[in-house]
Structure 1
């Protein structure tokens, strides 16, 4: 009898933990969110109602007690040399001057991690022009009242305009085929127990912009996709639920609304949902999950301007010009019943597994997550996602999924932020969001795994994944040939750092990327690179850096490249 009571108690605790994050479990129903779309691996493809998310919040509370405010502005100068080692290309040389700041804040009510940098490159010779580069990544949260938080994040980075990878080593000394990407999100979230009920709500505003200097170069006969321009998106959600106690199960009722307006072809995404969920403990470590609801989603866009030959007109950046006189046509339209069912397993406070199968978008979907926290410094996360997304909504969601504490990692030669971040709260990668800056909406499926650890004086980080996008374009549009095109991206990023002594350290990083272009005549892209850097502190805030990298790049229809680069530089932290 005692064992039965203990089993019921642990089962109820498990269900209570599952329902503890009601504020964002409703949020996770939106397109592009973890467990629903292209969410980042930091939430491992599940809603924040998962035990993993709950434990991460508790870890954050513990960290906030260890008050830490570290603001490190700096000036940096360097000299870079780069050469194509395979094709006998010219050796390019340029100097750099940069100003930036790294921030890490942990207090009782706030957490913030950020790194922002402005760099000017002075080219030597006619082949290497001067250029300005703004890069940075920030993620933070501030508690403004009981249960009420303000959250936000921002990103400035570079990616390939034609897809095929986001690793910054591809752009060392080169501005060709570069899409400068800027994205931010901000909004309040609320989660509190009121009268025995868990009440949650939130709102998020997102903005994303991509600048392209010139149309991308593609092999002859290939079909060029439309490069993303800019968009704004709004998300609002709310939920109410009750933990097990008076009832042998937990329940939640939730609903929300999302809208995105993109400048490209006057595109619009609009979705709303309402649903009810239950969590039923069936053992001390296992609970059954189930939910049913209603969803209504519409995606539409206008036609491009056509020339006298009926060919879509593009502007100087290679984007389609919008024909404002045409009506908006639907690229995707669904409404009706949605459901999902699954299981949650939590054998310990450090380990949790969630797996679900359901029906959405007129199709069967599979989502899931696995989180294992071996100790305070080691976290392993896996997320499986399936949903509708876009370049703009995906970046807003990816930023929101990143931890609020991470080590700001940059490519030492290009100065750009790395696509993956790692820290004591875990990590996350934006590769699946940055891989292809397409202007089209798309069905998004994939898996991402992230590991972050510190052991034997080394700091490690590994991120890998697979992302699949099927484009959604109106069947009667002049660009209907893009409808159904499927792009696939495989990626791996790893980094390791170790202090040699009190005043010096080494850092190693590497990546692999394969982009399978689904466009007719489209060129697949393969790239790989490795970078090593050595840093030594000379005097107070003065640090010297030496770095070298080797990058291999191969795109169908173009000559393959093997690029070698080296840097020496000085940095002064104030």
Structure 2
């Protein structure tokens, strides 16, 4: 695992750095070729040619006081370097937030540590209609005894901190052949979890096999004609393929489909839509090697050793007819609603989206999803759904990502993807929503989500006990920031995460809030002070943990 995750760190750093470099090198002036129109997440203001690249360094002193169950107080120094970059051009767009942090303890109770965090999403136009898209994320998390994860690594009583890495890239084609509109895309993704223990054990419960890494291939193509071009109804045909290969016990999710669809206008801004097709889904894996006593063998890397001598075992399989029907409502360029219900994965399926931007200073986005994948597949999709024009929201004391970005364009949250770091594949269903508003010199936003994962594992294997178990998680995060005057600014963040796990190890609740004040001292140099309160209640750790923290430091923006 160590070598694989070191490689992944390099790949994610390469992707993040490449997008930063791409942001600096992209042409700013408008070009003659028209920009692609397929990606609704792209900034509506891309024609402005805005470029912002801000490297920075920070030096801070942090005090952390345990309020309960103990009263320990520790201090440490925090050194950080990072870059915030954004470009919004006619044919290119990207946003990047990348941060490296080193914590240096002042006593034996705080070990020295370093962390990497960042999020990036961007595209560049190769030729008219052909773009290359990419995204990446690195985030520090805490893994609980039941396999659940949260974005705030608070519990110093257990060695449960981990780092999640995810990246994807691929081409998107949007073109026409006469009246036929054609769009296609391909994405390759890679995901890894750098956890302290590959097998997390809670007393009296089965050990948790933590996700190691996976590769993801996703491809889609669709061709169709719009209503009245020339037929009174719109017609289309499409196909798609998804495959995720999880290193843990050689698990594999494979989903292939072909379908036709029809769009029937019933008004100037309302249409009924329906589709029917064929789909084949197969989820499979292998068992662990077992010793003479039937005990699973754990390798030198702490991972279960895969038994490649036996054939692959089927965990879930279905093929046959799929269908869905729904409604599309688009009364203006600022409002769009889609709602669908149908049959997929051998059961009823719901999905849809709602986007509303009543003005250029506010937006609301809601997305409902239903898919089968492993941990990495859902993470890649969450990154791909982010807009290309955003500012990363970070914990004001630790610098960690909060699960949402600040943006007036498209879906702005990825917190649902963190639900659980278990290696088992699953069917994931849920909803994620975000609202953002710009009020003069102030920005505010809120994000919320619900995620339900029903795990899938082959009978007779070491993971069989996870089959059919359900984890449900909820997250809520908000921010409010702005300028007080020409030299002063403030930020306020709050978050909440709840995990109701069907596994042994219990449920988890994480709550927190923080506030920061910044004052410019000289050109590029500012002083910053922040305070925060955090609460962690996890059955696996026993006593609840409540902490208060304070930070004072300096930051220099180049």
- State if a TM-score over 0.5 links the two structures: yes
Which of the numbers 521, 528, 531 marks the counterpart of 2:511? Answer: 528
CA shift at 1:539, angstroms? 0.5
Aligned match of 1:347:
331
Distance 2:501 2:335 in 1: 37
Which of the numbers 296, 318, 335 marks the counterpart of 1:312? Answer: 296
Aligned match of 2:3:
none
Aligned match of 1:128:
110
Q: Is the 8 A contact 1:420 1:427 kept in 2?
A: no
Pair 1:571-2:550 in alignment:
no
Pair 1:140-2:141 in alignment:
no
Q: CA RMSD in A?
A: 2.0
Pair 1:370-2:345 in alignment:
no
Pair 1:329-2:302 in alignment:
no
Q: Is the 8 A contact 2:244 2:373 kept in 1?
A: no
Aligned match of 2:257:
273
Distance 1:378 1:175 in 2: 42
Moved more, 419-428 or 188-197: 419-428
Distance 1:516 1:278 in 2: 40
Moved more, 105-114 or 214-223: 214-223
Q: Is the 8 A contact 1:460 1:495 kept in 2?
A: yes
Distance 1:475 1:430 in 2: 32
Aligned match of 1:357:
341
| Change in 2 beyond 3 A, CA 1:440/1:283 | same
| Change in 2 beyond 3 A, CA 1:56/1:535 | farther
Which of the numbers 436, 443, 468 marks the counterpart of 1:484? Answer: 468
Aligned match of 1:110:
92
Aligned match of 2:408:
424
Q: Is the 8 A contact 2:187 2:219 kept in 1?
A: yes
CA shift at 1:389, angstroms? 2.2
Moved more, 383-392 or 461-470: 383-392
Distance 1:472 1:164 in 2: 16
Which of the numbers 468, 475, 488 marks the counterpart of 1:504? Answer: 488
| Alignment deviations for residues 77-125 of structure 1 (CA, whole Å, 9 cap, x no partner) | 1111112101224212111111111101112211010011111111111
Distance 2:524 2:402 in 1: 24
Which of the numbers 522, 539, 542 marks the counterpart of 1:539? Answer: 522
| Alignment deviations for residues 481-529 of structure 1 (CA, whole Å, 9 cap, x no partner) | 111110000111111112111111111111111101111x321101100
CA shift at 1:224, angstroms? 3.3
Which of the numbers 129, 152, 166 marks the counterpart of 2:150? Answer: 166
Aligned-partner SS, 2:46: helix
Aligned-partner SS, 1:419: strand
| Change in 2 beyond 3 A, CA 1:207/1:56 | closer
Distance 1:447 1:369 in 2: 9
Aligned match of 1:232:
215
Which of the numbers 450, 455, 459 marks the counterpart of 2:443? Answer: 459
| Alignment deviations for residues 326-372 of structure 1 (CA, whole Å, 9 cap, x no partner) | 22111111111110001122333322222111011110111122221
Pair 1:259-2:243 in alignment:
yes
Aligned match of 2:58:
76
Moved more, 187-196 or 85-94: 85-94
Count of residues in Structure 1 that have an aligned counterpart in Structure 2: 519
CA shift at 1:226, angstroms? 1.7
Unaligned segments of structure 2, at least 5 residues? 1-35
Distance 1:278 1:330 in 2: 35
Please, what TM-score do these two structures have when normalized by structure 1? 0.87
CA shift at 1:59, angstroms? 6.9
Please, what TM-score do these two structures have when normalized by structure 2? 0.89
CA shift at 1:158, angstroms? 1.4
Q: Is the 8 A contact 1:446 1:468 kept in 2?
A: yes
CA shift at 1:191, angstroms? 0.6
Pair 1:555-2:538 in alignment:
yes
Aligned match of 1:85:
67
Q: Is the 8 A contact 2:96 2:119 kept in 1?
A: yes
Distance 1:96 1:509 in 2: 20
| Change in 2 beyond 3 A, CA 1:179/1:315 | farther
CA shift at 1:221, angstroms? 1.7
| Alignment deviations for residues 43-74 of structure 1 (CA, whole Å, 9 cap, x no partner) | xxxxxxxxxx97974973x5122111111111
Which of the numbers 445, 454, 467 marks the counterpart of 1:470? Answer: 454
Distance 1:469 1:63 in 2: 37
Q: Is the 8 A contact 1:94 1:173 kept in 2?
A: no
| Change in 2 beyond 3 A, CA 1:148/1:174 | farther
Distance 2:186 2:180 in 1: 20
Which of the numbers 181, 189, 192 marks the counterpart of 1:209? Answer: 192
| Change in 2 beyond 3 A, CA 1:55/1:472 | closer
| Change in 2 beyond 3 A, CA 1:367/1:106 | same
Distance 2:143 2:285 in 1: 22
Q: Is the 8 A contact 2:154 2:536 kept in 1?
A: no
Distance 1:525 1:70 in 2: 39
- Higher relative contact order, chain-length normalized (CA < 8 Å, sep 6+): 1
Aligned match of 1:27:
none
Aligned-partner SS, 2:126: strand
Distance 2:80 2:155 in 1: 15
Aligned-partner SS, 2:52: strand
Aligned match of 2:19:
none
| Change in 2 beyond 3 A, CA 1:138/1:172 | farther
CA shift at 1:285, angstroms? 2.6
